[in-house]
A and B are shown apart, each in its own frame.
Chain A
Amino acid sequence: MKQFTTSAKNFFILLFSYPEKKIFVDESYSFEKAKTIAGLFYAILVYYALSYFTQWSYSPPIPVNFSPLWPVFWTHYVPFSNALNIMRVFFLTSVLFGAYFFRYRVARIFVFLAFLELFGFINSFGGITPNIYPVLYATFWLMFLPDAWDNPVSSEERKKFLFVFWGTQLFLLLTYTFSAVGKFYYAFVDFQMGRETILAPYALAYYIAHWLPRLQGASLLGPFFVRHQIVGWPFMLFTIYLQFFSFLIAFRPALHRLWALGLTLFHIMSHLTLSLLFPESVLMLLVFFYNSPFYRPNTTLREQLCALPLFGPVLRPLIM
């Protein structure tokens, strides 16, 4: 029993120190890059805010089913059009403030609050719009960045900075993993009840045939996948593979870029088949993973293939 306790303790110590031992290997390089990306993130949010402005100018939300969520409780007390304008002004000034003063935590807190307000408002019309949440998650985690922008910075501060950045990456990836966990869970439930499951060859075709006509939707590849149901199967299985192992990728920096590309292609396919686009998720992949501070530029394709979950161990003897 004592041996088991010691082994368990050692395991947790190893897990607890994993980021600095295995991910923040080139600490100075990663730190400088993470600082640049954090600044870039806040600059991009201004563009994001402006694109929202354009939408709002021409197509204000329809005030039906409006039932304010907790972050926008105050809209109960002002006319709808005034609430809209207050939100717009607060949103734009906060993201501008954040882009200019992103080094200061107070500015990052304002950006988080602005997104909390905006997304709370958007979700106050009876439905859930989760596709916009990843931006909110990122603004939340980046609030915790330590004040370590100007040299000299102690190693402890650098590690804290990198851990917050890596925590943001992990959180974003976990959303994909949970999506796959949900698919496995319901596949098990559906199988038990003798219903069609997500793992069936025709699942994608059923989704397309169910989803698009209901909403008067159309997509480029939807009709093809409904006609040739079996062709969609590998795409569905590959998507579940990508989603399920996403959390693991946070611990394998060699795969940060490749995996982000895979997930981007998944989002593009969702649009081409189901006419569903998650631009915010793609934006987060672009910002946090395509130029990940933990990815070493000299990583070879062979190393990336060997690091692949499930397939890596099979490929290793063949390509090494």
Chain B
Amino acid sequence: MSYSSLKIFTILFFIFYFGTAIYLEPKPSDHVFPFFSWFLFSNPPTKITSLYTLRVLESGGEKLNSPVLLRDAQTFVYLKANAPTVLEAIIERLAKSIISSDGEKIAALRRELELYFLTKPTRYEIVLITYDLIEYWRESKVRKVDVLATFTTDNLR
């Protein structure tokens, strides 16, 4: 390849790579490896926000005084390194399956959640919380909790 051809190839490749990445940007589900737009942390969260999460009611045979949200449940939920995003994805998919009443998916996702993250016998809820970011940060205060479902791990039954 001559020097001029190398330059032209480089320019065309840059246009192709970043053009494709930006084209795919609005549809993360259509992400084509290894294209990536690098639009990271581009729009901040709104002050009042909602999140699907998990709430522990009972762990290791002991009923808790009050339900504990995932963010404060380090003692009850086993979170190995690099796994938080995996756990969050499972909870979100589980919540959506509950909303759409997809029994097969619910069972599969519960199996993953309970096998890898809830190592102790646990009774827990999948909830949608609405909260003020700063209040939640400071004191775990949430403005609204919608319970989608309550489950018990097999080893507690």
The answer to whether A127 touches B89, judged by C-beta atoms less than 8 angstroms apart, is yes
A293 to B24, CA, bound (A): 35
Q: A123-B33, A167-B10 are in contact. Are A206 and B133 (CB under 8 A)?
A: yes
The answer to whether A182 touches B37, judged by C-beta atoms less than 8 angstroms apart, is yes
Residues on the B chain within 8 Å of A167, using CB: 10
From B22, B25, B85, contact of A127 by CB (8 A): B85
The answer to whether A185 touches B42, judged by C-beta atoms less than 8 angstroms apart, is yes
Q: A16-B7, A133-B36, A160-B6 are in contact. Are A65 and B90 (CB under 8 A)?
A: yes
Say yes or no: is A221 at the interface (Cβ < 8 Å to chain B). no
Residues on the B chain within 8 Å of A183, using CB: 39, 41-42
- Per-position binary interface string of chain B over residues 2-34, scored 1 when its CB falls under 8 Å from any chain A CB and 0 otherwise: 110011001000100010011001001001011
Residues on the A chain within 8 Å of B7, using CB: 16, 163
Residues on the A chain within 8 Å of B86, using CB: 62, 64-65, 125-127
- Per-position binary interface string of chain A over residues 196-207, scored 1 when its CB falls under 8 Å from any chain B CB and 0 otherwise: 111010010111
Say yes or no: is B102 at the interface (Cβ < 8 Å to chain A). no
Closest to A125 in B: B86
The answer to whether B34 touches A133, judged by C-beta atoms less than 8 angstroms apart, is yes
Residues on the A chain within 8 Å of B49, using CB: 210
Closest to A136 in B: B34
The answer to whether A186 touches B42, judged by C-beta atoms less than 8 angstroms apart, is yes
- Per-position binary interface string of chain A over residues 117-147, scored 1 when its CB falls under 8 Å from any chain B CB and 0 otherwise: 0011001011110100100100000001000
Residues on the B chain within 8 Å of A133, using CB: 34, 36
The answer to whether A64 touches B112, judged by C-beta atoms less than 8 angstroms apart, is yes
The answer to whether A186 touches B47, judged by C-beta atoms less than 8 angstroms apart, is no
What is the size, in residues, of chain A's interface with B at 8 Å between Cβ atoms? 60
A70 to B31, CA, bound (A): 12
Query: Main secondary structure on chain A at its contact with chain B?
Result: helix
Closest to A179 in B: B38
Enumerate B80-124 residues with CB–CB distance to A below 8 Å: 80-86, 88-90, 112, 116
- Per-position binary interface string of chain A over residues 148-170, scored 1 when its CB falls under 8 Å from any chain B CB and 0 otherwise: 00000000100110011001001
The answer to whether B44 touches A203, judged by C-beta atoms less than 8 angstroms apart, is yes
Closest to A71 in B: B33
Segment with Cβ contacts to B, from A40-48, A211-219, A252-260: A211-219
The answer to whether B43 touches A190, judged by C-beta atoms less than 8 angstroms apart, is yes
Nearest chain A CB to B108's CB is how many angstroms away? 10
A203 to B47, CA, bound (A): 10
Nearest chain A CB to B15's CB is how many angstroms away? 11
The answer to whether B39 touches A178, judged by C-beta atoms less than 8 angstroms apart, is yes
A71 to B33, CA, bound (A): 9
A203 to B34, CA, bound (A): 29
Closest to B11 in A: A16
Residues on the A chain within 8 Å of B14, using CB: 170-171, 174
Closest to A17 in B: B7
A26 to B144, CA, bound (A): 65
- Per-position binary interface string of chain B over residues 64-87, scored 1 when its CB falls under 8 Å from any chain A CB and 0 otherwise: 000000110110010111111110
25 A-B residue contacts at CB 8 Å? A59-B82, A70-B33, A71-B33, A116-B34, A127-B85, A128-B28, A130-B40, A156-B3, A163-B3, A164-B6, A178-B18, A181-B39, A182-B39, A182-B40, A182-B42, A183-B41, A186-B42, A190-B44, A195-B43, A198-B44, A206-B44, A209-B137, A215-B88, A216-B77, A216-B84
Closest 3 CB pairs of A and B: A182-B39, A215-B84, A209-B137
Interface residues of A (CB under 8 A from B): 16, 59, 62, 64-65, 69-71, 116, 119-120, 123, 125-128, 130, 133, 136, 144, 156, 159-160, 163-164, 167, 170-171, 174-176, 178-179, 181-183, 185-187, 189-190, 195-198, 200, 203, 205-210, 212-217, 226
Interface residues of B (CB under 8 A from A): 1-3, 6-7, 10, 14, 18, 21-22, 25, 28, 31, 33-34, 36-47, 49, 51, 53, 70-71, 73-74, 77, 79-86, 88-90, 112, 116, 133-134, 136-138, 140
- A65-B86, A126-B86, A195-B43 given. 19 additional CB < 8 A pairs? A70-B33, A71-B33, A128-B36, A133-B34, A136-B34, A144-B1, A163-B3, A163-B7, A178-B38, A179-B41, A182-B40, A190-B43, A196-B44, A198-B43, A210-B44, A213-B137, A214-B88, A215-B85, A216-B77
